[in-house]
A and B are shown apart, each in its own frame.
Chain A
Amino acid sequence: MNDPAIELHGVAKGYRFYHRPADRLRELFGGAPRHRVHWALQELSLQVRSGETFGLVGENGAGKSTLLKLVAGTVKPSHGRVTVNGRVAALLELGAGFHPEESGRENVYLMGALAGIPPGRMAEHYEAIAEFSELPVEALARPVKTYSSGMFMRLAFAVATAVNPDILIIDEALSVGDMHFQKKSLDRIMSFRERGKTVLFCSHNLYQIRSLCARAAWLHEGRLRAIGLTEEVVTAYESFEREKEAVLGKDAQAPSVYRAATGGGAPVRILEVSMAGESGAPNTLEAATVTVRVESRSHFIPFHVGVAVVRNDRENVFGTSTHFETDAAPLQGSGEHHLRLVLPRLSLLSGDYWLSVYVLDDSGLQVYDMAEAVCPFTVHSPGQEFGVVYIPYRWER
């Protein structure tokens, strides 16, 4: 528990690309550099503690696979240091190293030898692998090229995880075979965790990352964008993914309290919008309050105020207005009005949100003034439920 299982220190990995193959030859014989370097990873430092299940998220091409290869040892870093303490088993690609003409049994023997099983103990290992794969004896004697893809994957998973490693590296390998076998393979990975093994897990399935990993890292364009508790990292990543879908560029400078510019010809205008939880940032299931200050220029203009919570992909999560209340009289009177929208139990789950505030006429149709997508705030959820909103529930069994 003291030494980190995996430690990367200032790691960079560059791949050289040559315009033409001959350029590589010229360079080899002392010519001027003719390559350009693509940096798959840069300035990467992170530690995975021993016994930890660590998740890795990021877009395609963010450097996740390169990182896994570095830890598995199939490629060497261009700069920096990669330290791995313990035996590594890598599931980078299930069935890598299988030969289609060989029987299931022969493939298992070769992969087993590769994993370090000595000849004398191969037979007992083989039995365990065959049993886990649930392939009939008849099938194991056939060349694997005759297998269905499900059978192939089952055998590949069984052999890859049969030898007891200290560190297990998994790249998108959990969806193997039918539902029954998926459960079984997930169980095996869980049992690795329970026995205090280190698991480095990379997946696009954020649900699996959330449920398996205590900590996670988010790689973006070869660099570490975030590292920490899974919920925070994954939430930040999801939020980024949504923004990329094009919509609201999150203005890093946007203040948490919105103040309108002075002037404007609206008869009733928004002055200020703010959002607060019980103790600063709002948390799921705690009270939160939206405060809106508006100013009316006339004593005689009735108006309503609407507030919407908007997710960062511009999706309205929830909206309400003063005229939605039964028998609600419009607001009226010149000067400043303070309104508070009290949310006694905030149902939003983790994520980044904005507020949109509208000032409407007494019919609720005409908009006097509006402030859309202002006042960004981040909700932190203490629980493990996922999605957009918290829906009260209970399990009955």
Chain B
Amino acid sequence: MLSVSGRGRNLGYLFWLWVRRDIRGRYAGSMVGLAWAILAPLGTIGVFYLVFALVLRVRVPQLAGDSGFFLFLLTGLLPWLSISDGLTRASGALVAQEQFLQKLMFPVSVLPTAVVVTSLVPQLVGTVVLLGLLAVTGLLSLDALLWYPVVFALQLVLTLGLGLALSILTVHVRDTAQIIPVLLQLLFYTTPILYPLSLIPEQYRALYLLNPLACLIQVYHAVLLGFPLALSTLLMLGVWTLLLGVGGWWLFTVLKPTLGDYL
């Protein structure tokens, strides 16, 4: 028998092993396996493109034609899909593991964070494609490459905080898992992803500041596509990120000690 020195839980190592498990568990048994991580979002993007660009003929003032709308759609939808997938699955991350959380000492925060991180994979792959398309159409700027990681980091903080909060809220109030998809639907249609914000009457646009994801997606539009960005949107994104990122982490820390009682 071998001994182990120190009490370190190698959180990082455990995290990556859990990420692998999450990916493995998700696509196990399906024929093309991991390819679904790309195929599923691709399908969603295709449907939205068909309906909104070709049938409803939605146009974006700053970008010309169907291909312009496609770039617009991709810029907003890629982060959205990963966020909504991450939050939906994070809300069930602890409840799904209740059996063994009662039996093992496990660094609980690993579970929702790993789920949020695996949900980023399609976004990252898609973003490489998107950047390629932008380069081909001559829309890619150095600024975009420079600022994209910053916005991405904000997205990460925001979703990790929310994911942690939702995962532990679901343990206490099981209904959370049912509410999340509905809430995400509402947030989706109040975020300028399928339509540019310019289609919305001026007096309603301020309301979009109340949707943290609308702020985030607008900043993505500004960074990648060079859309004009109101200072208020940028500021609100900062506020939301701080509030939800730190607040979510705080809620998680507060509720964690009683976790064993409610599983």
22 A–B pairs (Cβ distance < 8 Å), ordered by A:
A21-B173, A24-B173, A72-B103, A74-B101, A74-B103, A74-B105, A92-B104, A93-B103, A96-B103, A102-B24, A106-B20, A106-B21, A109-B17, A113-B14, A113-B17, A116-B8, A118-B10, A121-B4, A128-B1, A162-B1, A164-B1, A191-B1
Chain A interface SS verdict (over half):
mixed
Contact of A101 with B by CB under 8 A: yes
Contact of B257 with A by CB under 8 A: yes
Interface pair B1/A114, CB less than 8 Å apart = no
Interface pair A116/B7, CB less than 8 Å apart = yes
Q: A-contacting residues of B (Cβ < 8 Å)?
A: 1-4, 6-10, 13-14, 17-18, 20-21, 24-25, 28-29, 99-106, 172-175, 257-258, 260-261
Q: Looking at the assembled complex, report how far the CB atom of A224 sits from the nearest CB atom of chain B, in whole angstroms.
A: 22
Contact of A367 with B by CB under 8 A: no
Contact of A135 with B by CB under 8 A: no
Interface string of A67-84 (1 = CB under 8 A from B): 001001111100000000
Cα–Cα distance between A73 and B260 once the two chains are bound (Å): 9
Cα–Cα distance between A99 and B175 once the two chains are bound (Å): 26
Interface pair B10/A119, CB less than 8 Å apart = yes
Which A residues between 75 and 113 are near B, CB-CB below 8 angstroms?
75-76, 87-88, 90, 92-93, 96-97, 99, 101-102, 106, 109-110, 113
Interface pair B7/A87, CB less than 8 Å apart = yes
Interface pair B258/A76, CB less than 8 Å apart = yes
Cα–Cα distance between A306 and B259 once the two chains are bound (Å): 63
Q: Looking at the assembled complex, report how far the CB atom of A225 sits from the nearest CB atom of chain B, in whole angstroms.
A: 25
With A24-B173, A119-B10 given, is the CB distance from A75 to B3 under 8 Å? no
Contact of A117 with B by CB under 8 A: yes
Q: Looking at the assembled complex, report how far the CB atom of A369 sits from the nearest CB atom of chain B, in whole angstroms.
A: 59
Cα–Cα distance between A21 and B100 once the two chains are bound (Å): 23
The number of A-B residue pairs with CB atoms under 8 Å apart is 110
How many A residues touch B, CB cutoff 8 Å? 43
Interface pair B8/A97, CB less than 8 Å apart = no
Contact partner of B21 (CB less than 8 A), chosen from A15, A92, A102, is: A102
Write the chain B residue with the least CB distance to A118.
B10
Q: Looking at the assembled complex, report how far the CB atom of A143 sits from the nearest CB atom of chain B, in whole angstroms.
A: 8
Interface pair B172/A125, CB less than 8 Å apart = no
CB-defined contacts of A143 to chain B, threshold 8 Å: 28
Cα–Cα distance between A376 and B14 once the two chains are bound (Å): 59
Interface pair B4/A117, CB less than 8 Å apart = yes
CB-defined contacts of B101 to chain A, threshold 8 Å: 74
Interface pair A97/B100, CB less than 8 Å apart = yes
Interface string of A13-30 (1 = CB under 8 A from B): 001100001001100100
Interface pair B2/A162, CB less than 8 Å apart = yes
CB-defined contacts of B28 to chain A, threshold 8 Å: 101, 143
Interface pair B14/A114, CB less than 8 Å apart = yes
Cα–Cα distance between A71 and B258 once the two chains are bound (Å): 15
With A116-B9, A124-B2 given, is the CB distance from A101 to B102 under 8 Å? no
Cα–Cα distance between A106 and B172 once the two chains are bound (Å): 32
With A75-B260, A92-B103 given, is the CB distance from A113 to B13 under 8 Å? yes
Q: Looking at the assembled complex, report how far the CB atom of A29 sits from the nearest CB atom of chain B, in whole angstroms.
A: 11
